[in-house]
Copies of this chain bind each other. A is one copy, B any other.
């Protein structure tokens, strides 16, 4: 056991640092071609990096003030599926523009009628000659308003049970018939999510990813963020302010003099430090070649309400001033690059962190069932042909 992170003199670190010294303002394509967009992937896309090297790269990029191309859906979730399930033509067509950030991706998964029951989705894709024709309605699609490529799950066989009749497609977002409507959330900030309406959208049949019927397996894999969660202590899905910054801020405005706030802040601080340790342990597990399991669910189960507590105490420390839009709780903590660095926005957005990518209730089921072996929730609709189950519920 050794809780020290790789030091300044680590030889790999020297090497990476040298690259960034030689390339102080790299383009997205240059970063991707150097393997820094997906260092854990095989060459030529990545560097076959282990977790430690990934951590070093992260730290050195931060030090150099350089960001991975902002294309989280491709880089964290979906593009990796092309390595194993895509055709060579799909890889050549989609991967470099994705990794370089040229093409923003989005995930066309959730639907209004579904909620936690994603497998029950209603969007259909019907084969018509050498095209699929898609009809349906998606929601909670991050980045749809900026995306060039959509990863779509649709039902290709309604007579299969709900999880078996699904397939996945790579869709050009400028195909006729696609309409994107932004969803403004309670924060009143620029939209994070969108609705996407698909009205007889025709896409070439070679945009099918993998085989028909593999859609459920692909999309559940993609929803588990594959890249190692590095030490991201921020309140909003790892981004934005952390418990340490909360305590510093409260100290700055002298709110820690109040005994009750002091104790609450200490509690949140301890929780935050422990979550950092858990994130590092996950990293160690990867380094020790332990396959990632459902710990991702437990980490999110703990981190999401922790993040809410962080921003909630900051908000309460403002008293009535906290209800003024844009008001900052702590004078010296300015917002950084990340929109979630804004405490006020982070607070009003924070209700989403226990909803997005698995509600808190679904996560607790996953943890209890997959890590503790407790009996699964009954789903009377799981084995029926989907179309029949749907008739029964109507």
Using an 8 Å CB-CB cutoff, how does the interface string of A300-318 with B read, 1 for contact, 0 for none? 0000000000000000000
Using an 8 Å CB-CB cutoff, how does the interface string of A245-259 with B read, 1 for contact, 0 for none? 000000000000011
Q: Which residues 250-273 of A have a CB within 8 angstroms of B?
A: 258-260, 262-263
Q: Which residue of B lies closest to A266 (CB)?
A: B260
CA A258 to CA B260, docked complex, whole Å: 8
Q: Which residues 195-234 of A have a CB within 8 angstroms of B?
A: none
A259 CB contacts on chain B under 8 angstroms: 258-260, 262-263
A258 CB contacts on chain B under 8 angstroms: 259
CA A258 to CA B259, docked complex, whole Å: 7
A260 CB contacts on chain B under 8 angstroms: 259-260, 262-263
CA A258 to CA B258, docked complex, whole Å: 10
Q: How many residues of A contact B (CB 8 A)?
A: 5
- Give the distance to chain B from A287, nearest Cβ to Cβ, in Å: 41
CA A263 to CA B260, docked complex, whole Å: 7
Q: Which residue of B lies closest to A378 (CB)?
A: B378
- Give the distance to chain B from A80, nearest Cβ to Cβ, in Å: 41
Q: Which residues 261-296 of A have a CB within 8 angstroms of B?
A: 262-263
CA A262 to CA B261, docked complex, whole Å: 12
Q: Which residue of B lies closest to A264 (CB)?
A: B260
CA A263 to CA B258, docked complex, whole Å: 11
- Give the distance to chain B from A292, nearest Cβ to Cβ, in Å: 34
A262 CB contacts on chain B under 8 angstroms: 259-260
CA A99 to CA B361, docked complex, whole Å: 50
CA A259 to CA B256, docked complex, whole Å: 11
CA A263 to CA B262, docked complex, whole Å: 12
Using an 8 Å CB-CB cutoff, how does the interface string of A341-380 with B read, 1 for contact, 0 for none? 0000000000000000000000000000000000000000
CA A262 to CA B260, docked complex, whole Å: 8
- Give the distance to chain B from A112, nearest Cβ to Cβ, in Å: 22
Q: Which residue of B lies closest to A257 (CB)?
A: B259
A263 CB contacts on chain B under 8 angstroms: 259-260
- Give the distance to chain B from A250, nearest Cβ to Cβ, in Å: 14
CA A353 to CA B260, docked complex, whole Å: 29
CA A92 to CA B80, docked complex, whole Å: 84
- Give the distance to chain B from A261, nearest Cβ to Cβ, in Å: 8
Q: Which of A258, A260, A262 has the most C-beta atoms of chain B within 10 angstroms of its own C-beta?
A: A260
Q: Which of A258, A259, A262 has the most C-beta atoms of chain B within 10 angstroms of its own C-beta?
A: A259
Q: Which residue of B lies closest to A263 (CB)?
A: B260
CA A259 to CA B259, docked complex, whole Å: 4
Q: Which residues 324-349 of A have a CB within 8 angstroms of B?
A: none
Q: Which residue of B lies closest to A258 (CB)?
A: B259
- Give the distance to chain B from A258, nearest Cβ to Cβ, in Å: 6
- Give the distance to chain B from A375, nearest Cβ to Cβ, in Å: 13
Q: Apart from A258-B259, A259-B262, A260-B262, list 5 A-B contacts with CB within 8 A.
A: A259-B259, A259-B260, A259-B263, A260-B260, A260-B263
Complex A-B: 8 CB contacts under 8 Å: A258-B259, A259-B259, A259-B260, A259-B262, A259-B263, A260-B260, A260-B262, A260-B263
Those 6 A-B pairs whose CB atoms lie nearest each other, nearest first: A259-B259, A260-B263, A260-B260, A259-B260, A258-B259, A259-B262
